[in-house]
Amino acid sequence: MDERLLKSFVTTAQLGSVTSAAERLNLTQPALSRQIQRLEQELGLPLFQRSGRNLRLSVHGDRLLVDAQAVLAASKRLHDAVAEMREGECGLLRVGACSQVIERHMSEVLPAWKRDNPNIDIRLEEGGGAELARRLDDNELHLAINARHFARPDRFSRIDIGAMRVRAFCIPSVFTAEPGAVTLAQLCRQPLLLLNRWHFTRELLETACQAEGCLAQPTLESGSPHTLLAIARSSGGVAVVPHLGTGPVEGLLAHDILHRGRPLDFEISAIWPSAMPLPGYGRRFIAYLRECLLPAS
């Protein structure tokens, strides 16, 4: 199918006027009308309903508009990728993520990515959920690996990566019943080592506790999951941190935290400002990250 015909259809549908669409596409009105008629003939369906000067989408046109937009977007990504390959791409991608993702996963992901993409510089910046959302809004980051909760549809685009569980890490002697999972009531009876309120995990835990009538009272707060895990290993407290389940944590057992019978978790996504589309290498980085993390999530 001729891409020009799809572009004529989408532009006319978005502007609601053949005159305006012809100006946008730098075509004469008769030429644009002929392109739309040709597309309708190829599809065997009417795409618009015409009444005098009024033009609106038909039922068929309304259903096909989203698909046509997706085809054009995919075509643009393909052309951009080819252009980057021909020109020898280079670029910078500023990526924000929580410390747990950086400490446990990026150290493995980035060296392999760099070997295959030597001219793309990835600069990692650490932050919590609300802070990362603010920095995206202020155009300080190109991309954030963040809780999907912060991907406001009016501001951001996203690609979902997977579920990250909130787990309790402790030495083996802390929990003796039901190995592998603890209830919120059991958890709150222990000395808790919690992330500070910059982290979405803290908000999620406290909301779940409130729903079940529990109180998550921290013995210690920190902005670093690594610090909490180290203290749990030495003091016997329970560190509550997000975890993708990629490998053991030395000296500690990981327990799912049950909220109403289900493990406490949240979706993480790659999020970027809709007004600043990612370059092709940005989308490839997301795809590479998903490939590395999803098998273990």
Q: For each of the chain's 297 residues, which pLDDT tens digit applies?
A: 788 999 999 999 988 888 889 998 999 989 999 999 999 999 999 999 887 667 889 999 999 999 998 898 888 878 776 766 655 567 889 999 987 788 777 877 888 888 888 888 899 998 878 889 899 988 899 999 999 999 988 889 999 988 888 999 999 888 865 558 899 999 999 999 999 888 888 999 999 999 999 999 999 999 888 889 999 998 879 999 988 765 567 888 889 999 999 999 999 999 999 888 888 889 989 998 888 776 544
3-state SS of 34-55?
Answer: HHHHHHHHHHCCCCEEEECCEE
| 256 three-state secondary structure | strand
What 3-state class would DSSP assign to 243? strand
Give the Cα separation of 102 and 18 in Å (integer): 51
pLDDT at 213: 94
Residue partners of 7: CB distance under 8 A and separation at least 6? 25, 72
Contact 196, 242 (CB under 8 A): no
Q: What is the DSSP letter of 102?
A: I
What is the model's pLDDT at position 285?
Answer: 92
State the pTM of this model.
0.62
* Domains in the chain with CATH codes: 3-86 (1.10.10.10), 91-163+267-296 (3.40.190.10), 164-265 (3.40.190.290)
pLDDT given at position 128: 78
CB-CB neighbours of 75 under 10 Å: 13
Nearest to 142 by CA among 284, 290, 276, 285: 276
- What pLDDT, on the 0 to 100 scale, is given for residue 209? 95
d(CA 71, CA 29) in angstroms, rounded, equals 24
Angle at 187 between CA 182 and CA 190, to 5 degrees: 135
Contact 232, 169 (CB under 8 A): yes
What local confidence, expressed as pLDDT, does residue 154 receive? 86
Packed helices 3-15 and 29-43: angle between N→C axes, nearest 10 degrees: 110
For the CA atoms of the chain, what is the radius of gyration?
25
Burial 195-206 (b: 16+ CB within 10 A, else e): beebbbbbbbbe
Read off the pLDDT of residues 231-280 as tens digits, 9 standing for 90 and up: 999 887 999 998 876 556 788 888 999 999 999 999 999 999 988 888 88
**Which residue is it, tokens 């596409």?**
25
Collapsed DSSP state (helix, strand, coil) of residue 274? coil
Give the pLDDT confidence score for residue 100 in this predicted structure: 74
Helix/strand/coil for 242: strand
Quote the CA–CA distance of 242 and 225 in Å, as a whole number.
Answer: 8
